């Protein structure tokens, strides 16, 4: 093996990393599988993946091992997109890297791009081959070429590792379907309803309306198979060490293509046990901890991002402990949902409480912050606290869904329900940030959409001009809310991730209804094609795209520059006495920043008793005393102490 800059040969480095984790890894593996020869095979393959790993990636591993907080820096800003919607294919993404740089983005999450059957793909979350890129998007070589090009520009690449299930078209599934016992044992097969019925008693449903039940009958095979998500997504059985080993080889194979961040999809679901909810079982943590050790041995520069869309007390254990970490990063999902609750109620109390919970966690825990992603928004709020304020869960969820559809309250939002469950009365919500902030409504009601459709590629500019005075006011207000929400999100500790198109105010895309393979899944409403015509307007401040892009850019520049925005700075909230205004503080090494965010459409005055002294408005550069201060409707301030 080659020498590296530290003068130690690669073999030695590997053995050191391996030695550091061997005892614990063996212990956990044997506890779960009690299978020494499979463990030996795993160790052998790990070393082979290390040997095959490219020198550039190994150097990055060493660099990151010596700066363990490399991803907690203030400059981190992510963007997520579907490759085809964003740029056609992988080569197209490469050609758009300059645009991403303009967006200040240095982390891209490319939505699932591995082989998946057309029309039975769940947005790519049904993988039929973990070693093959979807033909329309490119090849494995294109992927390696793209990750290398990203790395040259300092852009990190995130991909999904869909490990809970495979597509029914996966080779294993096809063999299982034909009755090959070894392959059947990689899934959950039952020849009668007996066991499936027992599971159904305790396992909740993920897609109660679009894919009810947790099992699918396969008439040709004469068996039921467990399908927690869609019927074509077959749950893998991690009781079988062959499944664990093979999936780890896939994981390492993908890491070696130059992936920096691996998003472990639907991770709470990977272990199943009769008479339980089949969520968050302790074996899930054993598996994630093993994954963490395996990646620390083979590719320590790779981060694990856990997708745990659950309440805080279920999310936090996925960080593991400081001594025995599991995921590097998790979604700040409750904060995200609570943010929209705050938009609908103009009452920051619950959000303040939620931020206090997050701020009290160890600083090593890094959250991915976002306003929305490719999935629906589930109303997972702290209903215990809301009940104390007289808000009952079912009726409040109903209110939020009505509000964001634009039916209730002083709402300008547009969007659609997702998986409305007639039995529980539960429903989740879909919409882009711009639509939920009122940009879509402000345009539609003033004929702007028609103008945009009829117009040239600069139609958007015309469209905005053709609005009435009132229309312009509504649009202005919506843009203010949109930027304020980003300003508030950028103040949180962790890594902010934008959904592509949100930076230019892209609205809902209703065309999914015309595609029979998508029509039943309203999440496609907010997964539209990137509208590059909007992006042409980013320098034109007279357009919504320009206002948003420049507003966000100004905040992103501040965030990149000021040290208080590193993830492990002190962060806290301050009581403002005004329900619609949230006050957040950050402190690091003598620098202090205070943020004020007005969640209402009216100007609000606050008196900050706990914050006084001289401050500089970080956006305008003006100096001022804090104390009594008016925050304009849907406005915000970033103040830095002098």
Residue 319, Cβ density class (10 Å: 0-12 exposed, 13-18 middle, ≥19 buried) = buried
Cβ at position 141, least distance to ligand GLC in Å = 26
If one asks whether residue 370 binds ligand GLC (CB under 6 A), the answer comes out as no
Where does this chain touch ligand GLC (CB under 6 A) — which range of 21-29, 122-130, 337-345, 553-561? Answer: 122-130
Scan for tokens 């008196």, then name that residue: 607
- Nearer residue to ligand GLC within complex by CB, 165 or 592: 165
Phi, psi angles (nearest 5°) of residue 320? 70, -155
| Cβ at position 546, least distance to ligand GLC in Å | 32
Q: Which two tokens stand for residue 164?
A: 């809970």
Nearer to ligand GLC, 502 or 578 (CB): 502
Q: Which range binds ligand GLC by CB under 6 A, 60-68, 118-126, 440-448, 614-622? A: 118-126
Question: Among 119, 143, 120, which Cα is nearest to 131's?
Answer: 143
**Contacts to ligand GLC from residues 227-246, by CB under 6 A:** 229
Give whichever of 502 and 562 is closer to ligand GLC, judged by the CB atom.
502
Among 125, 232, 499, 599, binds ligand GLC (CB under 6 A): 125
User: What are the CA-CA distances from residue 26 to residues 33, 248, 288 (Å)?
Assistant: 10, 15, 14
The single residue among 122, 464, 482, 509 that binds ligand GLC, judged by CB under 6 A, is 122
Select from 376, 379, 381 the least CA-distant residue to 418: 376
Segment (H or E) for 235: strand 233-235
Tokens, residue 359? 């701020």
Q: Taking the complex as a whole, how short is the minimal distance between the CB of residue 271 and ligand GLC, in angstroms?
A: 16
Whole-number minimum distance, CB 516 to ligand GLC, in Å? 18
Give residue 178's Cα distance to chain centre: 37
**Helical H segments across 391-506, by residue range:** 393-405, 433-437, 439-444, 448-454, 459-466, 469-491
Interacting span for ligand GLC (CB under 6 A) from 117-125, 409-417, 488-496, 606-614: 117-125
Site for ligand GLC in 253-292 (CB under 6 A): 265-266
Reading the block at residue 235, the tokens are 């749950």
Scanning residues 149 to 188, which ones bind ligand GLC (CB under 6 A)? Answer: 162
Shortest spacing between CB 484 and ligand GLC, in angstroms: 27
Bridge partners (DSSP) of residue 226 are 215
- Tell me the two tokens of residue 522: 């309203």
Q: Which is nearer to ligand GLC, 169 or 578 (CB)?
A: 169
Which residues share a beta bridge with 165? 235
- Our CB check for ligand GLC shows the closer of 59 and 85 to be 85
Q: Left, alpha or beta for 322 (phi > 0: left; psi -120 to 50: alpha)?
A: alpha
Shortest Å, Cβ 524 to ligand GLC: 11
- Closest to ligand GLC by CB, 49 or 367: 367
The distance of closest approach from Cβ of residue 234 to ligand GLC in the complex, given in angstroms and rounded to an integer, is 11
Q: Is 82 in the site for ligand GLC (CB under 6 A)?
A: no
Q: Name the nearest CA neighbour of 230 among 152, 337, 120.
A: 120
Site size toward ligand GLC (CB under 6 A) is 10
Task: Quote the CA–CA distance of 13 and 2 in Å, as a whole number.
Answer: 11
Least distance (Å) between residue 388 CB and ligand GLC: 31
User: What is the spatial distance between Cα 534 and Cα 502, in angstroms, rounded to a whole number?
Assistant: 11
| Cβ proximity to ligand GLC, 223 vs 263, nearer residue | 263
CA distance 446 to 255: 49
Q: Which of 122, 578 has the CB closer to ligand GLC? A: 122
DSSP state, 26? H
Q: Looking at 121-129, 139-147, 449-457, 622-630, which segment touches ligand GLC (CB under 6 A)?
A: 121-129
What's the token pair of residue 480?
A: 């203010």
Please tell me the distance from the alpha carbon of residue 328 to that of residue 319, in angstroms, as a whole number: 6
Cα separation, 537 vs 530, whole angstroms = 14
Q: Which is nearer to ligand GLC, 374 or 446 (CB)?
A: 374
- Give me the phi and psi of 110, to 5 degrees please: -90, 120
Positive or negative torsion for Cα 248, 254, 256, 258: negative
Closest CB to ligand GLC: residue number? 125
CB atoms within 10 A of CB 181: 9
Task: List the Cα angle 82/87/89 in 5-degree steps.
Answer: 80
375 or 591: CB nearest ligand GLC: 375
Q: Which is nearer to ligand GLC, 91 or 210 (CB)?
A: 210
Contact window for ligand GLC (CB under 6 A) among 96-104, 119-127, 453-461, 527-535: 119-127
Is residue 123 close enough to count as binding ligand GLC by CB under 6 A? yes
Smaller CB distance to ligand GLC: residue 500 or 600? 500
Q: Minimum Å distance from CB 161 to ligand GLC? A: 11
For ligand GLC, which stretch binds (CB under 6 A), given 58-66, 92-100, 120-128, 319-327? 120-128
Say if residues 235 and 226 touch (Cβ distance below 8 Å).
Answer: yes
CB of 165 to ligand GLC, least distance (A): 7
Q: Phi and psi for 420 in degrees, rounded to 5?
A: -65, 120
Q: With respect to ligand GLC, which residue has the nearer C-beta, 314 or 363?
A: 314
Smallest gap from residue 126 Cβ to ligand GLC (A): 7
* Contact positions vs ligand GLC (CB under 6 A): 122-123, 125, 162, 229, 265-266, 307, 374-375
């Amino acid at each position: 093996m080659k020498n590296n800059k530290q003068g130690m040969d690669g073999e030695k480095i590997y053995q050191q990393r391996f030695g550091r984790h061997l005892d614990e890894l063996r212990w956990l593996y044997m506890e779960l599988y009690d299978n020494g020869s499979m463990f030996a095979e795993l160790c052998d393959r790990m070393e082979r993946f290390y040997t095959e790993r490219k020198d550039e990636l190994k150097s990055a591993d060493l660099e990151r091992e010596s700066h363990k907080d490399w991803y907690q820096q203030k400059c981190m800003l992510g963007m997520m997109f579907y490759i085809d919607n964003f740029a056609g294919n992988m080569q197209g993404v490469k050609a758009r890297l300059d645009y991403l740089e303009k967006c200040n983005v240095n982390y891209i999450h490319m939505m699932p791009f591995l082989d998946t059957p057309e029309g039975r793909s769940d947005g790519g979350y049904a993988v039929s081959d973990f070693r093959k890129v979807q033909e329309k998007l490119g090849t494995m070589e294109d992927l390696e070429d793209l990750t290398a090009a990203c790395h040259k520009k300092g852009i990190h690449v995130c991909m999904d590792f869909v490990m809970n299930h495979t597509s029914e078209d996966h080779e294993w599934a096809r063999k299982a379907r034909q009755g090959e016992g070894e392959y059947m044992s990689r899934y959950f097969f039952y020849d009668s309803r007996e066991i499936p019925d027992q599971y159904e008693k305790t396992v909740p449903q993920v897609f109660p309306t679009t894919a009810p039940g947790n099992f699918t009958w396969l008439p040709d095979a004469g068996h039921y198979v467990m399908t927690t998500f869609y019927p074509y997504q077959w749950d893998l059985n991690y009781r079988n060490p062959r499944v664990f080993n093979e999936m780890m080889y896939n994981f390492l194979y993908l890491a070696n293509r130059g992936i920096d961040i691996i998003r472990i999809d639907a991770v709470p679901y990977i272990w199943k046990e009769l008479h339980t909810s089949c969520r968050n079982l302790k074996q899930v943590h054993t598996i994630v901890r093993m994954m963490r050790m395996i990646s620390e041995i083979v590719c320590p520069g790779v981060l694990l991002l856990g997708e745990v869309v659950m309440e805080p007390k279920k999310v936090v254990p996925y960080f593991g402990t400081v001594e025995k970490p599991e995921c590097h990063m998790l979604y700040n999902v409750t904060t995200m949902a609570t943010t929209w609750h705050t938009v609908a109620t103009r009452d920051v109390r619950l959000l303040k409480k939620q931020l206090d919970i997050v701020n009290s966690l160890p600083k090593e825990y890094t959250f991915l912050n976002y306003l929305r992603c490719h999935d629906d928004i589930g109303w997972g709020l702290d209903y215990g606290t809301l009940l104390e304020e007289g808000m009952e869960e079912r009726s409040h969820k109903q209110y939020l869904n009505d509000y964001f559809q634009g039916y209730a309250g002083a709402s300008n939002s547009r969007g659609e329900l997702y998986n409305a469950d007639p039995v529980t009365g539960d429903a989740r919500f879909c919409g882009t940030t711009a639509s939920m902030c009122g940009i879509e409504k402000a345009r539609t009601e003033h004929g702007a959409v028609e103008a945009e459709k009829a117009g040239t590629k600069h139609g958007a500019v015309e469209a905005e001009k053709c609005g009435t005075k009132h229309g312009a006011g509504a649009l202005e207000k919506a843009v203010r809310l949109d930027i304020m929400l980003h300003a508030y999100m950028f103040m949180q500790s962790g890594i902010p991730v934008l959904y592509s198109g949100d930076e230019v105010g892209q609205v809902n895309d209703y065309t999914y209804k015309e595609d029979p393979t998508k029509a039943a899944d309203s999440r496609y409403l907010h997964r539209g094609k990137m509208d590059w015509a909007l992006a042409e307007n980013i320098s034109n401040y007279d357009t919504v795209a320009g206002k948003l892009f420049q507003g966000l850019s100004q905040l992103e520049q501040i965030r990149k520059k000021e040290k208080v925005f590193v993830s492990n700075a002190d962060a806290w909230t301050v009581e403002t006495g005004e329900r619609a205004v949230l006050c957040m503080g950050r402190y690091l090494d003598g620098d202090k920043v205070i943020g004020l965010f007005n969640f209402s459409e009216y100007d609000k005055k606050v008196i900050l008793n706990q914050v006084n002294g001289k401050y500089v408005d970080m956006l305008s550069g003006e100096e001022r005393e804090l104390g009594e201060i008016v925050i304009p409707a849907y406005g915000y301030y970033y103040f830095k102490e002098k």
